[in-house]
Amino acid sequence: MDIQVIINQMVILFLVMIVGYIANKVKILDKELNQKLSSLVLNVTSPALILYSVSEPVEGDLNTVLQIFLLSVAVYVVLPFIGIFFARILKVAKEDRNLYQFMTIFSNIGFMGYPVIQAIFGKEALFFASICNLVFNIFCFSYGVFLISGAGKVSFDYKKLINPGIIFSIIAVVIYLTKWQMPVIIGETSDLVGSITTPLAMMIIGSSLAEIPIKEVVSDIRIYIYTIIKQIIMPILFWWVLKFIVHDAMVLGVLVVLIAMPVGTIAIMFCNQFGGNTSLASKSIFITTLASVFTIPTLVYLLFA
């Protein structure tokens, strides 16, 4: 694995993010358009990218799928306890502890995860990431809602799981297991539509960051400490444990890199919907996203080079 190639890819993603930031500042993009484009990425281009990942037969079997699924479940069972621990050692105010736990569990898989995974590990790894995303959605729309809403019990709305991303992930699993040879025209169409995902997603992130006042960001020292713990220390600990269980280097890499992703933009959406601390969520997304340009290549170099 050539670390220079990875660094170049992350710099390219960062520059595309800057394009989105500038586009927002000059009023080409705005909050309303960000929401519409986000819907396009989540419901159209990302599903196409998932389909493209299995457009050609991929080596593997049911055991590989089950391993990734079960490992993802295990990770999302452990992460809440880590989030609680982080909130304690950072002496987070009681009213913000649930949000810190949410930010620790639910990283930016949908927008940033897919482009980064593809850039580092290639097309095949997108399929593995989509399985992780299945588990992410199940936990996010049950335990995640519980955390931010402050509800007395964990609720689960199965309707939230009926979306193109989940549907195409399941279709991809079926294609992967049956080794079905996709017609060339479908594969090329999914490639063309899916290729929009990376630049569009990164520009949306950049445009969203432009909505956050810089003065609010630089003054919160706790977020910087949290970023180091979340995006360097935590992935290294997971890598150390998972390397004894996972023998496929690509599967291990996908799991660790997804854990190392910045705070997910869904944190702001949930805070807006359920009355959480949107200011804290915004600042955390800003700092962790910018830091990921440096932390992810560093982790990949240290752990997988």
Q: Residues 97-149: pLDDT tens digits?
A: 999 999 999 998 877 888 888 888 888 888 888 888 888 888 887 888 888 87
**Is 305 inside a domain boundary?**
no
* Whether pLDDT at 302 is above 80: yes
**Is 303 inside a domain boundary?**
no
pLDDT in tens, 141-190: 788 888 887 765 555 666 666 778 888 888 888 888 888 888 999 999 99
Q: How many domains does the chain have?
A: 1
Give the domain extent around 121.
3-298
**Is 78 inside a domain boundary?**
yes
pLDDT: which is higher, 224 or 211: 224
**Is 304 inside a domain boundary?**
no
Cβ contact 235:75 at 8 Å: no
φ, ψ of residue 267 in degrees (nearest 5): -60, -40
pLDDT in tens, 201-220: 888 888 888 887 777 667 77
Q: Looking at residue 189, what is its pLDDT? A: 95
Q: Looking at residue 2, what is its pLDDT? A: 63
* Whether pLDDT at 57 is above 90: no
CATH label of the domain that carries residue 210: 1.20.1530.20
Distance CA 204, CA 24 (A): 9
User: Per-residue pLDDT averaged across 37-41, rounded?
Assistant: 85
